[in-house]
Amino acid sequence: MSTPIQIARGALLAPAELEDRDLDRVMDQLLGAEIDAADLYFQSSRLESWVLEDGIIREGSHNIEQGVGVRAVSGEKTGFAYTDEILLPSLMQAGQTARAIARSSGQGEVHIQGVATPHQLYQPLNPLQSMTEQEKVELLRQLDAEARKQDPRVSQVIASLVAAHDVVLIVSSDGTLSGDVRPLVRCNVQVIVEQGEQREQGSSGGGARQPFSFFLEQDRALGYAREAVRQALVNLEAIEAPAGSMPVVLGPGWPGVLLHEAIGHGLEGDFNRKGTSAFSGRIGERVAAKGCTVVDDGTLPGRRGSLNIDDEGTPSQNTVLIEDGILAGYMQDKLNARLTGVASTGNGRRESYAHLPMPRMTNTYMLPGDYDPQEIIASVDRGLYAVNFGGGQVDITSGKFVFSASEAYLIENGRVTQPVKGATLIGNGPDVLTRVSMVGKDLELDSGVGTCGKEGQSVPVGVGQPTLKVDELTVGGTNT
């Protein structure tokens, strides 16, 4: 099988007959006086999606996106241009535009050399072709049938399959040329259940850097259909959620979105270099209770948030953010690492060639502790047990963050009792983890559904955690 670099050269350079010496020329022109670093980001993406609704395959779409982003950096200044024509004249022109960030002109000298990626966390395959169209639509029909046979109250099923094939080639002013082929698949099932006048919804899904066969293994896809129905039926029985501060037990896996919002964003290198994060200048300080260790790990095989290399060509790594409660490190891209005198942690990511890279998370999770999850629930007199969440958001400057529960229960006298309606939880990032009093031994990662937005750019990410008890968190229900 070809290596990712060979595939990337074939897909991105060969059609325009671009040779390494052409790339040298573009880089030479980009570099020179006042320019500290520059890079070219070649990308070719194919995206395909299929949607079933009302029992029929309603629509499908296919999208091609390709181009080159050209960046020149001078001190804290960045010049950026891109072109969707991968041709030498367009590249040279984009280079001219990007380097205008520096007042004086100049000429560098770069000789590009390919570097192999140290990881192979996923196969360099095209997931669009990993199943026939007939098999894809058949799978969607099975999801519809599986959901509907769970309960006669299921009135609507929307199921989708998405595959992305992303081929990137990164040429950096340090002379390295690296490439990556990133498959990504996603499956989602959403259901509406009706009981008399009352309606509720539930949804479930998963994804990975794998071929579509991932969904057939371990009964995953049909499991999403059953899980979506289960959640919707639970919500039909939900009573008003409580309002106010109380102990909250968060289930394992996807509730790790807490970590993503409460501390993850605040530990991104750009905010900390600028001093706009509530975590700025706090390395070495206690920001979580003893026993809390949080990492950002881009090296987990096949995970949605994993990368062989980041979008600046730096190999992804496992970065310890919080070690036993103490703030240990930030996530860096090249620009912020250089300006703060540290090394990139392989967190430089971008939505596409048409966007600038910045420090972003990969898979962010907390390591397991010692407690049995049942023991954690049993320790709460009155509180909330939240097991499924929608999205979240954070104000990194004030540190305030929210995340919205979509499946939660009351805990009364150490026992999980009634389901409650969805409610938003709000807290303060720098101190929420200091209130973690019990960490379960049941670490789980999410099923591969996370998408993180920052400054208008979306990238796939993962989260995870064991069952956690936060002694006090504000629950935004209606029942006072």
Partner 1 sequence: MNKLNELTNQQGQLEQMVEDLLAEAKSQGASAAEAGVSKDIGLSVSVRMGEVETIEHTRDRGLGVTVYFGHRKGSASTSDFSSDAIRETVRAACNIARYTTEDPCAGLADAALMATEKPDLDLYHPWNIEVDQAIATGLECESSARSLDPRITNSEGATLNSHDGLQVYGNSHGFIGGYPSSRHSLSCAVVGQQGDSMQRDYWYTVARAAGELEAAADVGRKAGERTLTRLGARRISTRQAPVVFQAEMAVSLLRSLIGAISGSALYRHSSFLLDHLGRQIFPEFVRVHENPLLSGGLSSAPFDSEGVTTRAKNFIDRGILESYVLGSYSARKLGMQSTGNAGGVRNLAIQPGELDLDGLLGEMGKGLLVTEMMGHGINMVTGDYSRGAAGFWVENGEIQFPVEEITIAGNLKQMFAGLAAVGKDEERRGSIRTGSWLLEPMTIAGE
Choices 1-9, 169-177, 270-278, 408-416 (CB under 8 A): range interacting with partner 1: 270-278
Answer yes or no whether residue 88 interacts with partner 1 by CB under 8 A.
Answer: no
Q: Between residues 136 and 186, which has the closer beta carbon with respect to partner 1?
A: 136
Query: Is residue 194 close enough to count as binding partner 1 by CB under 8 A?
Result: yes
DSSP H or E run through 62: strand 56-74
| Cα separation of the two ends of the chain | 62
Q: Which is nearer to partner 1, 218 or 480 (CB)?
A: 480
201 is an interface residue for partner 1 by CB under 8 A: yes
Binders of partner 1 among residues 355 to 384 (CB under 8 A) are 356
Amino acid at 320: V
Instruction: Indicate which single residue of 123, 434, 457, 479 sits in contact with partner 1 (rule: CB under 8 A).
Output: 479
**Least distance (Å) between residue 243 CB and partner 1:** 4
Beta 382-394 vs 444-445: how paired, if at all?
unpaired
CB 236 within 8 A of CB 229: no
Can you list the pairs that 58-66 forms with residues at least 24 positions away whose Cβ atoms lie under 8 Å?
65/352, 66/12, 66/353
Footprint of partner 1 on 427-466 (CB under 8 A) = 427-428
CB of 406 to partner 1, least distance (A): 8
Binding residue for partner 1, selected from 390, 412, 417, 451, defined by CB under 8 A: 390
Per CB under 8 A, 476 contacts partner 1: yes
Looking from the CA of 83 toward its CB, the CA atoms found within 13 Å total 16
Nearer to partner 1, 75 or 301 (CB): 75
Task: Report the residue from 65, 151, 166, 323 that binds partner 1 according to the rule CB under 8 A.
Answer: 65
Query: Hey, which residues between 280 and 339 contact partner 1 (CB under 8 A)?
Result: none
Contact map string, positions 243 to 262, toward partner 1, x by CB under 8 A: xxx-----------------
Distance (Å, whole) CA 44 – CA 38:
20
Q: How do 415-420 and 436-439 pair as beta strands?
A: unpaired
Helix (H, G, I), strand (E, B) or coil at 262: helix
Instruction: Say whether residue 1 binds partner 1 (CB under 8 A).
Output: no
Nearest approach, Cβ of residue 266 and partner 1 (Å): 11
Measured from the CB atom, the residue of 119 and 199 that comes closer to partner 1 is 199
Q: Contacting partner 1 (CB under 8 A), which of 23, 423, 436, 468?
A: 423
Nearest-angstrom CA–CA distance, 349 and 332: 10
Nearest Cα to 389, choosing from 294, 479, 257, 259?
257
Rg of the chain in Å (alpha carbons): 24
The answer to whether 478 contacts partner 1 (rule: CB under 8 A) is yes
Nearest to 419, CA basis, from 387, 467, 374, 444:
387
